[in-house]
Amino acid sequence: MSGIDEIKDLFQTYSIELLAFLFIAVYSLNFWVGRSKNNGLAVSSLRKINSILKEQFSEIGSYNPPRDDSLIKESNSRYLLYCSGRRNCNGLLVTINLQRRHDLFYVLMRYFKFSLEQDSITIEISMSSSDYKEPLLFCVVERAQENELLESMEDVKNHTNVYKCSKIPSDFHLRMEVPEMEGLVLDTLVAKTIQEHSKHISYIHISDLAEQDKELGNRLLRFQIKIDESLDNSEALSRLTLMSCYLVDLISGLKLHAQTKKIIESKRLRVKEALFKASHKEREEASQRLKEEKLQKELESRQGLSKAAIMKREEKLRRRQMKKNGGKTMVCFV
């Protein structure tokens, strides 16, 4: 028998084992390469905004001065950085969300266009309630991301409407409670920065009704920035990060007219009442469905039983109810 035949016989005998070993080797190699690439992207992204954060905040991450390991690695595709020590806000949280390059199944889904995830940086700034007192709900969102944002942010979905705006690119929507917000937030500097770096912006969200944990509070400024690894994002990341800090100071000093505040409060009250009515209706419908299901089960259980069996069952239920009542029976006097 030749060497080639021996190799064929060996492969046929251990084909499953060899395929399993090959899969493990490929998966492990992709895991190591993908994890290393994500680590590099996270560190390089932090370096691009590090100088801005250092200028704006006194405490960056777990170390001062900042170091690469200030990043908290929550997973192989998610990194966090905390900043604190700045006026007009309680702190800042930078979340770097990257593609799951370490996951071979995700890589295959990405290759066949089944997944459209992209790298992004989300900046969340918890506003100080002592400085940010005015009701303010404002959102600039890329049209392609709007449906996803509305599903995840109830305040934007329930309280805002789309308004036409010539200050932002045509592929973005401006959502507000009242049109007066446009002139208050979209000043010349903010509008110019959005125009120049619109391809890197997913959304800008400012709200005093944001749903968040107790540590961050419900007065937030959220800013999602897209990362394109094939391009140099240094200028865009720096400018947009600086703009988020600029917005903190801008909105902390906003003063709404009394009439505008009254309109906002009236709208929010109507939305609250409508949501309560809708939830009450849903509870009633759910209760009615449960009653119908219970009745249906009772009818199904009675089918096929004789009259004597039905009477015996009802007597059993009556005794069980009496036992629950402590063996007491009700006597009516006429």
Q: How many domains does the chain have?
A: 2
Residue 205 clears pLDDT 70, i.e. is over it: yes
Q: Please report the pLDDT score of residue 14 as a whole number.
A: 67
Q: Please report the pLDDT score of residue 334 as a whole number.
A: 36
Q: Please report the pLDDT score of residue 279 as a whole number.
A: 73
Percent of the chain predicted with pLDDT > 70: 79
Instruction: Yes or no: say if 223 and 204 are a contact pair by the CB < 8 Å rule.
Output: yes
Indicate the average pLDDT of the chain. 79
Tell me: the pLDDT tens digits for 17-37?
Answer: 778 888 888 888 888 988 888
User: Does residue 287 form part of some domain?
Assistant: yes
Same domain (yes/no): 100, 192: yes
Confidence of residue 332 (pLDDT cuts 50, 70, 90): very low
Q: Please report the pLDDT score of residue 333 as a whole number.
A: 39
Same domain (yes/no): 50, 103: yes
Same domain (yes/no): 261, 250: no
The residues, ordered by sequence, that sit 6+ positions from 212 with a Cβ below 8 Å of its Cβ are 124, 218, 220
Same domain (yes/no): 265, 246: no
Which pair of structure tokens corresponds to residue 296? 């249906």
Residues in the chain: 334
Same domain (yes/no): 98, 214: yes
The neighbour count for residue 80, using CB atoms within 10 Å, is: 15
Same domain (yes/no): 225, 265: no
Same domain (yes/no): 84, 232: yes
Same domain (yes/no): 249, 274: no
Higher pLDDT, residue 285 or 186: 186
User: Does residue 308 form part of some domain?
Assistant: no
Tell me: the pLDDT tens digits for 84-135?
Answer: 888 888 888 999 999 888 888 888 887 777 777 788 899 998 887 666 677 8
User: Does residue 90 form part of some domain?
Assistant: yes
Residue 214 clears pLDDT 70, i.e. is over it: no
User: Does residue 307 form part of some domain?
Assistant: no
Same domain (yes/no): 208, 286: no
C-alpha closest to that of 78 among 32, 133, 39? 39
User: Does residue 15 form part of some domain?
Assistant: no
Mean pLDDT of 238-253: 88
User: Does residue 236 form part of some domain?
Assistant: yes
Tell me: the pLDDT tens digits for 74-86?
Answer: 888 899 988 888 8
Q: Please report the pLDDT score of residue 174 as a whole number.
A: 92
Same domain (yes/no): 180, 284: no
Q: Please report the pLDDT score of residue 16 as a whole number.
A: 76
Q: In three state form, how does the secondary structure of the chain look? A: CCHHHHHHHHHHHCHHHHHHHHHHHHHHHHHHHHHHHHHHHHHHHHHHHHHHHHHHCCEECCCCCCCHHHCEEEECCEEEEEEECCCCEEEEEEEEECCCCCCHHHHHHHHCCCCCCCCEEEEEEEECCCCCCCCCEEEEEEHHHHHHHHHHCHHHHHHCEEECCCCCCCCEEEEECCCHHHHHHCCHHHHHHHHHCHHHEEEEEEECCCCCCCCCCCCEEEEEEECCCCCCCHHHHHHHHHHHHHHHHHHHCCCCCHHHHHHHHHHHHHHHHHHHHHHHHHHHHHHHHHHHHHHHHHHHHHCCCCHHHHHHHHHHHHHHHHHHCCCCCCCCCC
Same domain (yes/no): 53, 168: yes
Q: Please report the pLDDT score of residue 331 as a whole number.
A: 44
Same domain (yes/no): 236, 112: yes
**Angstrom distance (rounded) from CA 86 to CA 124:** 14
**Angstrom distance (rounded) from CA 199 to CA 197:** 6
Instruction: Yes or no: say if 139 and 204 are a contact pair by the CB < 8 Å rule.
Output: yes
Mean pLDDT of 223-237: 80
Q: Please report the pLDDT score of residue 236 as a whole number.
A: 86
User: Does residue 106 form part of some domain?
Assistant: yes
Half-sphere exposure of 210 (CA within 13 A, CB side): 25
Residue 183 clears pLDDT 50, i.e. is over it: yes
Domain residue limits at 189: 36-256
Instruction: Yes or no: say if 139 and 156 are a contact pair by the CB < 8 Å rule.
Output: yes
User: Does residue 95 form part of some domain?
Assistant: yes
Q: Please report the pLDDT score of residue 156 as a whole number.
A: 86
Tell me: the pLDDT tens digits for 37-50?
Answer: 888 888 888 888 88
